[in-house]
Amino acid sequence: MPNSDRLRSVGVVLFDRFELLDVFGPLELLGVVADRFALRLIGPTAGPVRSAQGPDVLAADSHGDAPAADIVLVPGGIGTRGLVENGEFLAWLAGWAGTAEFVTSVCTGSGVLAAAGLLDGYRATSNKRAFSWAQS
């Protein structure tokens, strides 16, 4: 892999009612090799973002102030249902994530990527119970 020794920035997109496991499962894995990844949580505003399970998580940056990321992660959660109708958010995500080396999602986050046009021309999947929704 070219530039494998380079520190890669990972931007995790938070939104109201995101799924905790979809964020912290991948972050725990990346934390094992913390010398290779710089992790940033990006929220609608810098500060607390409410998860689907209730606890707030602290976003370091707002969507509007988010630094460019090499890797983008969009989690799933019940909050994705509203995001796919939010044109302002989708335009921001398409522009911000469009420059990333890797754009990834967990579960219904794929529906958000699809709505932003970031999956055009790519194969993707989602939670089997939400596949039809994400595909639409």
**pTM, 2 dp:** 0.89
Which amino acids are annotated catalytic?
107
Any domain includes 116: yes
Any domain includes 136: no
- Which DSSP state fits 60? S
Residue 123's pLDDT is: 73
Domain holding 51: CATH number?
3.40.50.880
Q: Helix, strand, coil proportions of the chain in percent (round to 5)?
A: 30, 25, 45
Q: How many domains does the chain have?
A: 1
Identify whether the C-beta of residue 18 lies closer than 8 Å to the C-beta of residue 46. no
Residue 1's pLDDT is: 46
Determine what percent of the chain is predicted with pLDDT higher than 70: 87
Mean pLDDT across 97-125: 88
Any domain includes 111: yes
Any domain includes 22: yes
pLDDT, tens digit (0-9, with 9 covering 90-100), for 122-131? 676 666 666 6
Any domain includes 49: yes
20 pLDDT more than 90: yes
Any domain includes 1: no
Identify whether the C-beta of residue 83 lies closer than 8 Å to the C-beta of residue 89. yes
Identify whether the C-beta of residue 16 lies closer than 8 Å to the C-beta of residue 44. yes
Q: Could you give the angle at the alpha carbon of 14 between the alpha carbons of 13 and 17, nearest 5°?
A: 145
Residue 121's pLDDT is: 78
Any domain includes 110: yes
Mean pLDDT across 48-52: 97
Which has more confidence, 6 or 25? 25
Amino acid at 31: G
Any domain includes 119: yes
30 pLDDT more than 50: yes
Q: Which residues constitute the domain of residue 82?
A: 8-131
Strands (E), the chain: 8-13, 37-43, 47-50, 56-59, 61-62, 71-74, 102-105
